[in-house]
Amino acid sequence: MSVQPLSVLDLFRQTGAYLSGHFRLTSGLHSPEYLQSAKVLQYPAHAERLGRELAAALRELTCGQAIQVVVAPALGGLIIGHEVARALDARFVFTERDASGGMVMRRGFHADRKDSAVVVEDVITTGGSTRETIEIVRQGGAQVLAVGSIIERAGGRVDVGLPRIALATLEVISYKPDQCPLCRQGIEVAKPGSRPAP
Q: Identity (one letter) of the amino acid at 126?
A: T
Longest dimension (CA), the chain: 55
Mean pLDDT for the chain overall: 91
pLDDT tens per residue, range 148-175: 999 998 888 999 999 999 999 998 888 9
- What pLDDT score was predicted for residue 194? 56
Domain coordinates of the chain in residue numbers? 8-184
CATH of 8-184, picked from 3.40.50.300, 3.30.830.10, 2.30.40.10, 3.40.50.2020, is 3.40.50.2020
pLDDT tens per residue, range 33-52: 988 999 999 999 999 999 99
pTM equals 0.87
Cα end-to-end distance, the chain, whole Å: 50
